[in-house]
A = this chain, B = another copy of it.
Amino acid sequence: MLREITGFSNPLVKDARALRDKKARRETGRFLAEGLRILTEGLEAGFAPIQLWRTEASADHPLVKALERAAGETLVTSPDILGKLSGKDNPGQVLGVYAEFATPLAELDRSAADIWLVAQAMRDPGNLGTTMRTGDAVGAGGVILIDDCADPFSVEAVRASMGAIFTQKVVRTNWAEFIAWLRDGPGQLVGTSLNTDVDYQAASYAAPTFVLTGNESQGLPESYEADCDLLVKMPMRGKADSLNAAVATAVMAYEVLNQQRRVLVG
């Protein structure tokens, strides 16, 4: 189905734009993703938009056509309205409205990957999206969100994920449930912390490795650290005592991947 939307005051514009706010996402169970690259990533992962918004000019692009065939409906509109929906002066050619999804912890298949990322109270949506992107890069199975994290379906997180929102499993849970689930099967829980002398390169990681990163300003609660199998730290050679949370997660995740690669090679 294809409809033309010409007015800023069209209720469909208002409804789609409202998805930039958490309240509307919660009420409708829908979220926004922008840009041909991210939407195509979604399609390849099996996610079709409920609504595809595109400009007239992009009608003939083969990737846009593929999205249009899969979409529930296609709304053709002006670059100005697309810009209003995306909140960017220079929007991409397409924007999609999707149904939110999340994997219940009980349904997570830990044997599907050797690395899992676990974020505790990661509050910055950019950090969270970047962490999903890193998860994709290291071949992680998904990102497990503990406590009060940023919304993985926010526009900022989806944008920073560069499509990994569609390829990484996303689980939202709390610490008690996570630990109960974790201990019901194999898995090494490794936390990055200031409260240890173990260098992250001196430790050995056992698959599946769960890489745990704490809140941007507080780090991990002490009681959570006590539940870890291992606490490690990165060398800090300057004045600061910590890395950006998404950076710390990535440096750790690549170390785990590198050890797994060495085991495979030799």
Contact = CB atoms under 8 A, between A and B. Distances in A.
Interface of A: 41, 44-45, 126, 130, 133-139, 160, 162-164, 167, 201, 234-240, 242-244, 246-247, 250-251, 254, 257-258, 261
B137 A234 contact: yes
Chain A interface mostly helix, strand, loop or mixed?
A: helix
Nearest to A240: B136
B250 A137 contact: no
A137 B236 contact: yes
Contacts of A133: 240, 243-244, 247
B167 A239 contact: yes
B130 A240 contact: no
Given A134-B244, A247-B130, A238 B160 contact: no
Q: Oligomeric state, in number of copies?
A: 2
Q: Which 3 A-B pairs have the closest CB atoms?
A: A139-B237, A136-B238, A247-B250
Nearest to A166: B239
B243 A137 contact: yes
16 contacts: A44-B239, A130-B246, A133-B247, A136-B240, A137-B238, A137-B240, A138-B237, A162-B240, A164-B238, A167-B239, A201-B261, A235-B257, A235-B261, A247-B247, A250-B251, A254-B254
B139 A239 contact: no
A140 to B, nearest CB: 8
Nearest to A167: B239
A162 B139 CA distance: 30
A234 B258 CA distance: 10
A160 B124 CA distance: 11
A139 B238 contact: yes
A238 B139 CA distance: 5
Given A130-B244, A133-B244, A137-B236, 11 more contacts: A130-B246, A130-B247, A133-B243, A136-B238, A137-B234, A137-B238, A138-B235, A138-B238, A201-B258, A246-B246, A247-B247
